[in-house]
Amino acid sequence: MKFSDKEDIEAPIGEVFAILSEFEQFERSVIRRGGDVQRLASFDPPAPGMAWQVGFTFRGKLRDVTVELAEYDADNRICFAGGGSGLKGVLEVELLALAPHRTRLSVALKLEPQTLSARLMVQSMRLAKSKLNQKFKQRVADFAATTEQRLGRAA
């Protein structure tokens, strides 16, 4: 199952990538939403191999996922790979400079079930794909708007 979306952000690519690289901000966001995050490996500056253990509730069941930073290409691409609770997933975030002060953000999430129960969960997600896709697109749009606000641009 795959979700993807693109949003344009009124900011230079370097500034957008800097915000994408603020992993502590994303950790706090998961915690605010009721999840649990534990950093397993950390590098300064960020590099492939950084990892997190994330726990959250989805569809009434506690899910435990290990997420690893698989690719970190400064100003261009960040890729996370993870798995747990019978699912494997890849989140790809790519940036493209459209103009000196305009950046296109492309986000793609691919989920693959590894067990029968995960296959059933993904199948039920397929039935609600339009609603889940709408939520995904809204999250990407919210991130773009928040990024513009943080950088002092009009949203």
Question: From CA 2, how far away is CA 10, in angstroms rounded?
Answer: 27
Q: In this predicted structure, what is the pLDDT of residue 63?
A: 84
Q: Note the pLDDT of residue 153.
A: 56
Cα dihedral 77→78→79→83 (10° resolution): -170
User: Rounded to the nearest 10 degrees, what angle do helices 129-150 and 116-127 cross at?
Assistant: 80
2-150 has CATH 3.30.530.20 classification: yes
Q: How many CA atoms are closer than 13 Å to the CA of 43, on its beta-carbon side? A: 10
In angstroms, the Cα distances linking 140 to 12, 114, 136, 143 are 18, 27, 6, 5
Nearest to 11 by CA among 99, 139, 140: 99
pLDDT of residue 65: 93
Please list the ranges in the chain whose pLDDT falls under 50. 154-155
Q: Where are the domains of the chain?
A: 2-150
On the 0-12 / 13-18 / 19+ scale of CB atoms within 10 A, 30 is: middle
Interatomic CA distance for residues 107 and 31, integer angstroms = 22
Task: Look at residues 14, 12, 51, 55 and name the one whose alpha carbon lies nearest to residue 33.
Answer: 55
Residue 155: per-residue pLDDT? 47
Task: Look at residue 76 and give its three-state secondary structure.
Answer: coil
